[in-house]
Structure 1
Amino acid sequence: MSFHGQSGIVVVNNKTYDLDKLSPEERHRVEHLVLHEKHRGHESMHMEMFFILIATLVVAQILLVQWRKYYFQSYQTATLLGMWIVPVFLCLKLSWHRFLYVWSVFSVITGLMTYWATRKPLAGTTPRRVYTWFLLCYKISYALGIAGYLVMMGALFGLSILFMVKPNVAMDFGLVLLFYGLYFGVVARDFAEVCSDKMASHIGYYTKTGMPTRKLDEGVCAVCGQPIVRQDEDEDGVSNGAEKVVVLNCAHSFHDFCIRGWCIVGKKQTCPYCKEKVDLKRMFPNPWEKPHILYGNLLDWIRYLVAWQPVIITLVQGINWALGLE
């Protein structure tokens, strides 16, 4: 195998190829041959690199689990910063400007919501406003994720041809939708969790540990601190316009919107006041709502891939470089 200048002439297995004159398919095949020839005889080195990768992944996973177990606050902060910043550096490097525009708008609005949620005194309208934004982000990310998955499956089975779209173009579009949905879904849920803790702590009906600082009066929602007006109907069957109320197994009542934001968006699965575990299946019996819960669990798993996987891969590359492996 050899290369001649910058003219694109490549010699592989005593055959000469002019890359500039080849079709994209032929060029890809020749480049694959070049790569194969370049790494011929390096099987032992590749095996070492593989074992380094596996060992690093295992050790990193153990350390992350222990970090989360004993120092959750710092783990959560580091993960959130990683989720928020790492993709930006990648997009700057790859010149993905569209993502940077969307990320900037999302960051400004989310930053404003976080500011409102963390300042004292907490305005009475803040919890609903904050949950409205993050619930909107969650629904949009859910829709983008599902749409991206369907587009990718359609491209995989050749359905994109029916719309006169090339499979590779459809696949790229589906990947973009899926990436946007998963990324912003994860980041929004993490910020929502932080805001949920801060708002509930400011209101006084919730603490991470110990007893709440305020007694929860009957008819008050512990998530937003506002009175609960139950939804009733008059004799003609007309609703009075009040919000639907959800009563948990512990007998504490909440606005339907608030407890949904608390459990699904804010990632809390305990009563905000007494910390009794919430039965999500009982609270959300509608089968159409179960995918939302499963999607939330998927986002929690994706967080590891987005926030820590690039760091681990960079660490592996550093180890390989230090050992002289390429």
Structure 2
Amino acid sequence: MAAVQPQDDLPKMIHREKWRVEHERLHAKHRGHEAMHAEMVMILVATLVVAQIVLVQWKQRHHRSYNLVTLIQMWVVPVYFTVKLFWWRFLSMWGMFSVITSYVIFRATRKPLSCRTPRMVYKWFLLIYKLSYAVGVLGYMAIMFTMFGFNIFFRIKAEDSMDVGVILLFYGLYYGVMGRDFAEICSDYMASTIGFRPRSTFHHGSLCAVVAEQEPMSVSMALAAEANEVD
């Protein structure tokens, strides 16, 4: 092995020789650390395996708490990075989605439940599903469009078209998953509210469990038919 040249001679060396000297210095600096590096890798692998087992068991045994915690993290954590990195476009869309969804959740968790709430919840999350699906498909098509080189025919830079595709695909996946989880929470709350009154409190089938007040039989049947149409 060639001797390491002094620091003053480095500017006179060619690029390959300079890289070789720096590589030798790096090896000399970390000589004897192989055991420590192997231990760090083993700890990392063990942590990943244990964390995966814990997450799987948590999801299987406590499905609702798992979904709630992961949903809150997915909803709140991106705000920190968007504010720190000044991603105002994502923050503005996140704000609009959060405001409207919060209002929908507020309406879905009220007791007594309004007869118009199920239709409103259904329409909002159906809209989120359709928009996220369309945006995700557009993002995927833009990525494929760039990978096959079709952007050249339209004089679009590969970096620009790929960025647009990745952003659209991310938006579609992110808001699609968020909408699905929030829709599940709202449906659970509404189902528990509709079935909240015990069977002993029903009088001749005329007590509506949705609005928790006396309703004529015809109105109750109309509400049931409307719920079936929504389903």
TM range, normalised to the smaller chain?
A: 0.7 to 0.9
Q: Which has the higher contact order (CA 8 A, sep 6+)?
A: 2
Determine the structure 1 residue equivalent to 2:117: 126
Determine the structure 2 residue equivalent to 1:228: 225
> 1:68: how far off?
1.7
Determine the structure 2 residue equivalent to 1:83: 74
Q: Which of 97, 110, 120 is 1:106 aligned to?
A: 97
Say what the alpha-carbon RMSD is for the aligned residues. Answer: 3.5
Whichever residue aligns with residue 202 of structure 1, its letter is: T
Whichever residue aligns with residue 227 of structure 1, its letter is: A
1:71 aligns to 2:62 (yes or no): yes
> 1:203: how far off?
1.3
Deviations 1:203-223 (A, max 9, x none): 118xxxxx9x98xx9xxxx9x
Runs of 4+ off more than 3 Å: 10-16, 36-54
TM-score of the superposed pair, with normalisation by structure 2: 0.72
Provide the C-alpha distance between the structure 2 equivalents of 1:70 and 1:164, rounded to a whole number of angstroms.
54
> 1:182: how far off?
0.5
Provide the C-alpha distance between the structure 1 equivalents of 2:228 and 2:26, rounded to a whole number of angstroms.
65
Determine the structure 2 residue equivalent to 1:189: 180
Determine the structure 1 residue equivalent to 2:135: 144
Q: How many residues get paired?
A: 195
Secondary structure in 2 matching 1:163: coil
Provide the C-alpha distance between the structure 1 equivalents of 2:12 and 2:46, rounded to a whole number of angstroms.
36
Report which of the two structures shows the higher radius of gyration computed on alpha carbons.
2
**Identity, % of aligned positions:** 49
1:176 aligns to 2:167 (yes or no): yes
Distance 1:12 1:96, change over 3 A: farther
Deviations 1:122-146 (A, max 9, x none): 1111001011001100111111111
Determine the structure 1 residue equivalent to 2:189: 198
Q: Structure 2 unaligned segments of length 5 or more: list them.
A: 1-9, 211-220
Whichever residue aligns with residue 74 of structure 2, its letter is: M
Q: Which one has a larger percent helix, Structure 1 or Structure 2? A: 2
Q: Structure 1 unaligned segments of length 5 or more: list them.
A: 1-9, 17-32, 206-210, 230-252, 260-326
> 1:13: how far off?
6.9
Provide the C-alpha distance between the structure 1 equivalents of 2:149 and 2:159, rounded to a whole number of angstroms.
10
Q: Which of 208, 228, 231 is 1:254 aligned to?
A: 228
TM-score of the superposed pair, with normalisation by structure 1: 0.52
Distance 1:48 1:116, change over 3 A: same
> 1:66: how far off?
1.2
